[in-house]
Amino acid sequence: MLRRIETRIVNALLGDSIPLPSYATDGSAALDLRACIAEAITLEPGGRALVKTGLAINMMDPGLVAIVASRSGLSLKHGVRVAQGIGVIDADYHGEIGVILANDGQLPYVVQPGERIAQLMFQPVVQVALQVVEEFSTVTDRGAGGFGSTGKG
């Protein structure tokens, strides 16, 4: 079932001199987020910066979360990625989306106004109720085996 999500533009540059976020193809799972900045930002090697997107979302649906993910080409070619791995935007957050970018590369990277910097996808959310127990009631083949217990790695 297709869900519609209301979005708000919070930066005058967005939609004017900087394209609106969009899906690159009909099969794209995520919107491309762009740097909604007036001037370029230089990310030094090992550096981080908060880059504004000009976009705020008002999901009004507690069953959804927005996920900010790195662009694979930016990571591969330049070592620039979303700093915390992924960004989580809860349904009740209504402020402007900012992307924390980190430069793991060897050279400075210049983020240009309007550049595609990350991806935004929407996913369903399940909240769980934690229950403290003395032991688990079922046994599995794996048991309490940890890292690498099911094979190579």
CB 100 within 8 A of CB 52: no
- Scan for tokens 């402020």, then name that residue: 95
Whether 61 has a pLDDT exceeding 80, the answer reads no
Torsion, Cα 107 76 118 65, to 10 degrees, reads: -130
Q: Distance (Å, rounded) from C-alpha 25 to C-alpha 76?
A: 21
Domain boundaries along the sequence of the chain: 6-124
- Whole-model pTM above 0.85? no
Domain 6-124 has CATH 2.70.40.10: yes
* Binding-site residue positions for substrate: 71-73, 84, 88-90
Measured CA to CA in angstroms, residue 36 lies from 18, 50, 68, 96 at distances of 7, 11, 15, 11
Q: How far apart are CA 31 and CA 40, in angstroms?
A: 22
Q: Give me the mean pLDDT over the 38-51 stretch.
A: 97
Q: Are 114 and 32 in contact, with CB atoms under 8 Å apart?
A: no
The pLDDT of residue 131: 93
Least-confidence region, from 35-39, 61-65, 104-108 = 61-65
Mean pLDDT of 70-83: 97
Q: Which residues are annotated as a binding site?
A: 71-73, 84, 88-90
What single-letter DSSP state applies at residue 71?
A: -
- Mean pLDDT, the chain, rounded, equals 88
